[in-house]
């Protein structure tokens, strides 16, 4: 064995994360994420403040379920 098994696994995971990120960017405007009740948007003149609190909670819940399902 050459010792590259760990690096290969990390590259596969990184590739999967890049693929997932790309899909989110492409399909992002078609999903309600970012426009959920609980996301804060304040606009005054040329100032814009956006805090996607509810979106972060939903993403965190999905990732927690995914990690617990596949890593146990």
Q: Is 37 found in the same domain as 72?
A: yes
* Mean residue pLDDT across the chain: 80
Cross-strand bridge partners of residue 44: 47
Query: Which tens digit of pLDDT belongs to each residue from 9-40?
Result: 778 878 888 887 777 777 766 777 778 888 89
Structural domains in the chain (count): 2
Higher pLDDT: 42 or 67? It is 42
Percent of the chain with pLDDT over 70: 83
Q: Is 69 found in the same domain as 41?
A: yes
Prediction pTM value: 0.56
- Which helix (H) or strand (E) element contains residue 44? strand 40-44
pLDDT exceeds cutoff 90 at 47 = yes
Q: What is the pLDDT confidence band of residue 43, given thresholds at 50, 70 and 90? A: very high
Would the CA dihedral through 37, 38, 39, 45 be positive or negative? positive
How many Cβ atoms are within 10 Å of 55's Cβ, its own excluded?
Answer: 17
Q: Is 51 found in the same domain as 17?
A: no
């Amino acid at each position: 064995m050459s010792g590259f098994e760990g690096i290969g696994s990390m590259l596969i995971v990184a590739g999967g994360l890049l693929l997932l990120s790309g899909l989110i960017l492409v399909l992002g405007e078609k999903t309600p994420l970012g426009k959920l009740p609980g996301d804060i948007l304040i606009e005054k003149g040329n100032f814009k403040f956006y805090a996607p609190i509810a979106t972060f909670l939903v993403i965190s819940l999905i990732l927690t379920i995914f990690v617990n399902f596949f890593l146990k």
